[in-house]
Every structure is written in structure tokens, then in C-alpha cells.
Amino acid sequence: MASPVFRFAPSPNGELHLGHAFSAILNADLAARMGGRFLLRIEDIDTARCRPEFEAAIYRDLAWLGLAWEEPVRRQSDHFADYAALLDRLVRDDLVYPSFMSRGEIREHISEAESKGRRWPRDPDGVPLYPGVEKTWSKRARRKKIEGGEPFSWRLDVAAALARAGKPPSWREADGEDFASVSTVDEGAAAWGDVVVARKETPTSYHLSVVADDALQGVTHVVRGRDLFHATSVQRLLQVLLGLPEPAYLHHRLITGTDERKLSKSRGAPTLRSLREAGATPTDVRDMVGLAPAEAG
Ligand code: GLU
């Protein structure tokens, strides 16, 4: 059997903290234990928020932790053409539609419906589902609007996509912090509604570029935080629609701060750099995230 392939895929929109360290180390440890490969991928499709100095900091912090990854590192912003090719297939298969509503218009549409007593459905993150008004438009009406230069994103028509898939794709999820035992998760993507697969300002989205790259890089084991557990249903659906291979998944515990909330860049979690500057060692970091000291060798 080909060797397993793991990846750590941070976004360079801030400095890494202990949550990232845990994810990266867990991936590298599992790769070492299973005789696999460990890749690093820079997820920087959000060119407005991602910065080269944060990318440089990722390499510096991971090297300090003692991790070694394969070169070259795949940087998503260098590969927009790959994602566009996959998007084209979804467009041709009529599984996506152009959506023109602004955030404000969406909010207005929903509050109007709610003012009439209708409870608007929310996705697993609590965000109201997209109203999908454009789905009823004719092809001609859509084309006219596009040709008029109106900005639009491409959204997955999730009902059409699930119908095309036949049955909602399940996935294999590790039961613990390794792949010794796995269970099947049956969770359809319908709960997310018509998710964005290509943004207004970028010819791709988080979901599309992740499934594209996991396939292109031959990733067999996706190990990432529990906060992305439900997103897997959307990614599995895209994999089935695009005929891409199915990795196994492990959504690990999240590292929390003293307030019991998930560490986050925006809430000012201590960065790996600040811990290092305060004298912490890589062994201290492993200890802080609940991992045993590194095995020698
Ligand atoms: N780039 C994503 C993040 O930083 C992780 C994506 C993934 O592991 O699938 O949260």
C-alpha cells in the first residue's frame, strides 16, 4: 500500500498559537508513526487578509517545534487555475449558480421573512442559509446580469448536488487521536444550504481549494480541528461530485484558553513566538497541549 499522506494547512492571516502547534505536531507524529509523509500547505486564498510575514512566521515556528515537511510547500494563491478548472466542471454540470445578493440584501430578505413569522434555517455555525432566489431565474436572466458586470459568487445548489450524488456521502472518522479505529459518519451537507464555492473576489473558496489540494497532493489522512467537523459533509459532497478520492478524517480536540474557549487569533491567544521569547521549549509546548514528549529517533 502507498504510504499515508498527512498535511497541516494553516492560513497565514496571523501568528500561530498553541492550537496550531497541537494540530501540526499531531499530524507530524501520526505521519512518523504510520510511516507516512508530512506536507505543509499554505491556505492563502484570502489575499486581503493573508500576509507574507505570517507565512514566514509559520516556517519559523514549525521549524522551532522540530517539524520537518516536504518541499516545495504548496501555496494556494499560486494555483487559482487548478481551482477554476474544477469550478468549470461544476458550472457545466449545472450544480452551481451565480449569486448576486450582497450581505445587506441577504439580511433584509431574511428579516422580512422572519417578520412574517417564518423561522429562517441556520447552518451548523449558526449563520442563516442563503435564500437562493437566483435558482428560479432563467439562464438568460443570469447571463444578462453577469454580462452587465455585476459581481457574483458561485454557490452550490445543494439539493441538485445531493440528488446527483445519489445518497449523502458519509466519511470515515477516527474514534480517538489516531486511526486505530474509525467509525462512519453519516451527515449530509443539506444543513449548510447553498454554500459558496467561488467567492466574488476570488475564483475559489475554502471548501473547493481544500478538496482540490487534498486530492492533488494525494492526502490520505486529514487531521484538523473539531471546529471543521461539520464542514466535512460539504467537502465529501464536492469530492463525490468531482470524482476525487476520499481521505480518512480525524477532527481533534481544540486547545482552549483559561476562559475555556477555543484559542483564536482574534481573541489574542498567546503566539508560539511569544512563548518562545518567554523561554518555553518545544517540549514545553507538547506538554501544554497534552502530548507526550517526542519519541527519540
Ligand atoms: N486553512 C484552514 C484553517 O487554517 C484549515 C483547513 C483544513 O485543515 O482543512 O483553519
Instruction: Judge if 68 and 101 occupy the same domain.
Output: no
- Going by the DSSP 8-state scheme, the letter that residue 283 receives in this structure is H
Which pLDDT belongs to residue 1?
64
Instruction: Judge if 154 and 26 occupy the same domain.
Output: no
Q: Is the CB of 17 under 6 A from ligand 1?
A: no
Report the SS3 class of residue 263.
Answer: coil
Does 169 score more than 90 pLDDT?
A: yes
CATH code where residue 186 lies: 3.90.800.10
Helix (H) or strand (E) holding 86: helix 80-92
Q: What is the mean pLDDT of residues 56-68?
A: 98
Instruction: Judge if 131 and 160 occupy the same domain.
Output: yes
Which pLDDT belongs to residue 167?
86
Q: What is the mean pLDDT of residues 90-118?
A: 95
Q: DSSP secondary structure string, 202-237?
A: SS--HHHHHHHHHHHTT--EEEEEGGGTTHHHHHHH
- Residue 67's CB is within 10 A of a number of other CB atoms, namely 19
Q: Ligand 1 centroid vs 9 CA: distance in angstroms?
A: 5
Q: Domain containing 60: what range? A: 1-78+255-297
The domain total for the chain is 2
Report the SS3 class of residue 142.
Answer: helix
Cis peptide before 72 (omega within 30 of 0): yes
Rounded Cα gap, residues 151 and 200, in angstroms: 6
Q: Ligand 1 centroid vs 6 CA: distance in angstroms?
A: 13
pLDDT, tens digit, for every residue of 197-234?
999 989 899 999 999 999 999 999 999 999 999 999 99
Please give the mean pLDDT across all residues of the chain: 95
Instruction: Judge if 92 and 28 occupy the same domain.
Output: no
Q: Write down the number of H helices and E strands in the chain.
A: 10, 10
Instruction: Judge if 3 and 57 occupy the same domain.
Output: yes
Which pLDDT belongs to residue 8?
98
Contact call for residues 31 and 38 (beta carbons, < 8 A): yes
227 CA closest ligand 1 atom index? 10
Q: What is the mean pLDDT of residues 269-291?
A: 95
Does 53 score more than 70 pLDDT?
A: yes
Instruction: Judge if 102 and 64 occupy the same domain.
Output: no
Which pLDDT belongs to residue 45?
97
* 77-86, 233-242, 288-297: least confident range: 288-297
3-state helix, strand, coil in the chain (%, to 5): 40, 15, 45
Which pLDDT belongs to residue 257?
77
CB-count burial class (<10 Å; 0-12, 13-18, 19+) for 297: exposed
CATH code where residue 11 lies: 3.40.50.620
Instruction: Judge if 57 and 191 occupy the same domain.
Output: no
Q: In what order do the strands lie in the sheet with 182-185?
A: 74-75, 37-42, 5-8, 221-225, 248-252, 171-174, 182-185
Q: Is the CB of 213 under 6 A from ligand 1?
A: no
Nearest CA to ligand 1 atom 6: 9
pLDDT, tens digit, for every residue of 35-51?
999 999 999 999 999 99
Instruction: Judge if 162 and 87 occupy the same domain.
Output: yes
Q: Is the CB of 98 under 6 A from ligand 1?
A: no
Residue carrying C-alpha cell 459518519: 185
Name the band, by pLDDT with cuts 50, 70 and 90, for residue 297. Answer: low
pLDDT, tens digit, for every residue of 249-279?
999 999 987 777 777 767 767 899 999 999 9
Instruction: Judge if 188 and 291 occupy the same domain.
Output: no
Instruction: Judge if 73 and 129 occupy the same domain.
Output: no
Quote the percentage of the chain above a pLDDT of 70. 98
Residue among 5, 45, 210, 229 whose CB has most ligand 1 atoms within 8 A, to mutate? 210
Which pLDDT belongs to residue 262?
76
pLDDT, tens digit, for every residue of 123-148?
999 999 999 999 999 999 999 999 99
Instruction: Judge if 232 and 288 occupy the same domain.
Output: no
- Cell numbers found for residue 182: 474509525
- pLDDT: is 134 or 1 the higher one? 134
Instruction: Judge if 243 and 259 occupy the same domain.
Output: no
